[in-house]
Amino acid sequence: MTNNKENIHLVAPRSHVSQEMREARHSHKGMVFWLTGLSGAGKSTLAHTAELMLFEKGYNIVVLDGDAIRTGLCNDLCFSPEDRQENNRRIAELAKILVRNATICLCAFISPSETARKNAKDIIGEEFFKEVFISCSSEECERRDVKGFYKKARTGEIKNYTGVSSNYEAPTNPDLIIVTENKTVTENTNELFEFIVAHTKNLELEISS
């Protein structure tokens, strides 16, 4: 990896279109909603379902999904603690760019480490970051696992699998907790949808209109 000291001469150009101008165009603020939880908890399902609901309402929104990122931007990384940290750092840097362009960004990643999630929050900026814990018991996650990844992890066929051979640190103070095993996808998605809408309102636009 390149040493940051070698990049000291780099100066990022300033856009002629400000974040405020973009937010005025879309009538909402850019914000990251970081969905964390075990594999099978329902992160991707909720993110993509909420994405469609928001898109149909005219929101500028995108989902960054763990599997999609792993097959592209982060296909050079493995699942060691160090690579997981780097995976989350790259996602956070991408999400930061999207937020500054007035995009609502739903990040659906296991992101098992409290430290990695805090680093993501620091990169993106506290005012643009909401942590959403998608809570589900490991037993229920394994029951939902039609691909058999949990079973393969327990037999040692898959290494460093979160919730089996690799630890998951649940958030200690998330902005929202959605418990997925007791409610329907529709109920859980509506809860996420309402939370997103409430935290992306551009109050300055409402006051001036």
Q: Which of 117, 133, 111 is nearest to 195 (CA)?
A: 133
Q: 18: annotated binding-site residue?
A: no
Does the annotation mark 111 as catalytic?
yes
Any known ligand binding at 130? Answer: no
Quote the CA–CA distance of 18 and 16 in Å, as a whole number. 6
Catalytic residue among 111, 137, 138, 208: 111
- Is 153 annotated to bind ligand? no
| Closest of 122, 125, 109 to residue 41, by C-alpha | 109
**42 appears as a binding residue in the annotation:** yes
Q: Is residue 58 annotated as involved in ligand binding?
A: no
40 is in an annotated binding site: yes
Positions marked catalytic: 111
Annotated binding site: 37-44
Annotated binding site for ATP: 37-44
